Chain A
Amino acid sequence: MTTLDSRLPPPRRLRPWHGLERRLRDVGISGRTLVIAAPAIWLTIFFLVPLVVVFGISLATKQFGRPPYSPLLTTDEGKVQLTLHLSNYVRLFTDPLYVAAYLSSIRIALVATLITLVIGYPMAYAIARAPDKWRNILLMLVILPFWTSFLLRVYALSGFMRGNGVINQILGVFGIEPLVMMQTDFAVYVGIVYTYLPFMILPLYTNLVKLDTSLLEASADLGSRPWQTFLSVTLPLSLPGIVAGSMLVFIPAIGEFVIPSLLGGPETLMIGRVLWDEFFAATNWPRASAVAMAMLVVVVIPILLLQKAQDAVVERGK
């Protein structure tokens, strides 16, 4: 066996990347820096800076013209002047509409999440316990609606629930008076449950399918009835799945716009809709910005902190 070294061409010459990498490294840029920089720059410009802009404009006032808000910085005889208005924030607290909208958003999202959990949990459990050949098909049936249009699903539901819709026609066959379901808070609840049910089922399923059935057998062996086993073994062990699923429903539900505007009535107050109307109907950009900032502080930041705490718990659990 001849040795390899004598037959090998010198290695360096053959690496096309080598020259480029080295040249970049000479000016202090490593591949690593490039990998980090590209998404970091994009997210800074299109995610972080916009939030700062929103905050800035929330301190302006509405005025007619383009853009429809007062400038923060004005030059007056060569002096730069900064004008900040707190009126939008004052208004948020004094006008009962806003406070009511925040509270009702939280309430609607919370109640809808609970209903979704109650409906989704048995479904997830049934799929997790289904025979192998069924499981993939059932799972596919859960995922399928998620890939179809969200908007069209809400629309389908509205066709189902309206005055002369399918439900009322079926009720009519039994001689029952048509129910008014559309344009009520009830319709909003149904809409949220309907559209976000897959988000509840999937994390619950992932959790429940990993549940070791010998734990259930052990519990039964030690004298628990099925419901006791469920309460004392299954439910506590599936808590991470419950939390994950609930977060996935609660978070988008709270800022929901499409569902309340298509299914809800005029009295259905949700903060996403208020912001939308403030912006599109009233063209009050500064007010809309203030609503957004308040939403960020009241809703988004607590959720982020909660998630961080949850991650820390999970991390420690490992």
Chain B
Amino acid sequence: MRRGWFLPIAATLGFAFLYLPIMSLVVFSFNESKLVTVWSGFSTKWYGELFADPQMLGAAWLSLQIAFFSATIALVLGTLCAVALVRFKRFRGRTVLAGAVSAPLVMPDVITGLALLLLFVAMEGLVGWPSGRGVLTITIAHATFCTAYVTVVVQSRLSDLDLSLEEAAMDLGATPVRVFFDITLPIIAPALISGWLLAFTLSLDDLVIASFVSGPGSSTLPMVIFSKVRLGVSPDVNALATIIIGVVALGVIGATLFSMRSGRARRA
């Protein structure tokens, strides 16, 4: 078929739309002036300021910790959930479980955040746990909505898995638990990794739910950024954004190259 001119142009414009704002943000993070939109000379002073800001650094560290733990909890729960939904076709409450695990995907963050806060307040009143809001409540909240995403990722990989592989292992003398660790787990490992990364990113990125369930002294990075940018431009946020974009870009490019290479090896 003859290649038209429309598609390349549309795609170019689309990618320009996606990338120009990010580019300008990166460029202006090296701007001398506090005015983030007027170029006045190259400088890395905003990076210096960023790394001298204890509030920002503390929030970043807190967010990373929360993201790590909630992604790990979500990985375990989501994998179990996916195994239950894919492998056990009939059990009581299957529909409820399937609904409860996929509902957070369509639930607006404001509802999830509000609901969990009200639960934590009610639980504290009834059983005294969790006492106050903070890292623990944010981690629980993030683990809950991330479980949904992990489940979806693992579920799709698991349902592609040839059942006869597991049967073959069992036939060769492996008990069901062994089969899971010897066969199922290694084969779905890529899905587990991407599920965990997805959960980690979502947790790191969440502003709304964390705002509801956090307490005094437990402001996450998005909460600090939000309070800064709400008041207007802030060059050290530009610097932070540039660092995050750089790290993510390296990671994504690396992963793409890796998967391209292993894809080629598989075809060979």
Q: Do A and B bind each other?
A: yes
Which residues of chain A have a CB within 8 Å of any CB of chain B? 11, 15, 17-18, 21, 31-32, 35-36, 38-40, 42-51, 53-54, 57, 67, 119-120, 122-123, 125-127, 129, 136-145, 147-153, 155-160, 162, 164-166, 169, 194, 197-198, 213, 216-217, 220, 226, 251-252, 254-258, 261-262, 272, 275-276, 279-280, 285, 288-289, 292, 295-296, 299-300, 303-304, 307
The answer to whether A148 touches B248, judged by C-beta atoms less than 8 angstroms apart, is yes
Residues of chain A lying within 8 A (CB to CB) of residue B116: 46, 50
Residues of chain A lying within 8 A (CB to CB) of residue B84: 35-36, 39-40
Is B265 on the interface with A (CB-CB < 8 A)? no
Q: Is the CB of B14 within 8 A of A120?
A: yes
| Minimum C-beta distance from B73 to chain A (A) | 8
- Known interface pairs A35-B84, A144-B252, A300-B107; A67-B125 also in contact (CB < 8 Å): yes
**Would you give 23 A-B contacts (Cβ < 8 Å), ordered by A?**
A18-B175, A35-B83, A47-B100, A47-B144, A120-B14, A125-B7, A147-B201, A147-B252, A148-B245, A149-B244, A151-B205, A151-B226, A153-B21, A159-B36, A164-B38, A166-B20, A197-B14, A220-B1, A226-B1, A226-B4, A255-B108, A258-B226, A275-B114
**Per a CB cutoff under 8 Å, which of A21, A36, A285, A304 touches B106?**
A304
Is B11 in contact with A148, judged by CB distance below 8 angstroms?
no
Closest CB of chain A to B48's CB: distance in Å?
Answer: 20
User: Which residues of chain B are near A17, meaning CB under 8 Å?
Assistant: 175, 177-178
Does A159 lie within 8 Å of B28, measured CB to CB? yes
Inter-chain pairs besides A252-B108, A288-B114, A295-B111, 18 sampled, C-beta below 8 Å:
A35-B84, A40-B100, A53-B119, A123-B10, A126-B8, A148-B244, A149-B241, A151-B229, A152-B240, A155-B225, A157-B21, A160-B24, A162-B233, A166-B21, A213-B1, A262-B230, A279-B212, A295-B108
Q: In the complex, A162→B21 CA distance in Å?
A: 12
The answer to whether B37 and A169 touch across the interface, beta carbons within 8 angstroms, is yes
Contact yes or no, A149 B1, CB < 8 A: no
Across the interface, B110 reaches (CB within 8 A) one of A136, A216, A255, namely A255
Residue of A nearest to B240 (CB): A152
If the complex has contacts A53-B115, A67-B121, A151-B207, are A39 and B81 also in contact, measured as CB distance less than 8 A?
A: yes
Nearest CB of chain B from residue A270's CB, rounded to whole Å: 10
Q: A169-B37, A304-B106 are in contact. Are A126 and B10 (CB under 8 A)?
A: yes
User: B80 near A: Cβ within 8 Å?
Assistant: yes
CB distance from A232 to the nearest CB of B (A): 15
Nearest CB of chain B from residue A286's CB, rounded to whole Å: 10
Q: A15-B175, A50-B116 are in contact. Are A149 and B205 (CB under 8 A)?
A: yes
Least CB distance from B111 to A in Å reads 5
A147 → B minimal CB distance (Å): 5
Assuming A289-B118, A304-B106, A307-B106, is B18 touching A141 (CB within 8 A)?
yes
Considering only residues 65-118 of chain B, those with a C-beta below 8 Å from chain A are 76-78, 80-81, 83-84, 88, 91, 93, 97, 99-101, 103-111, 114-116, 118
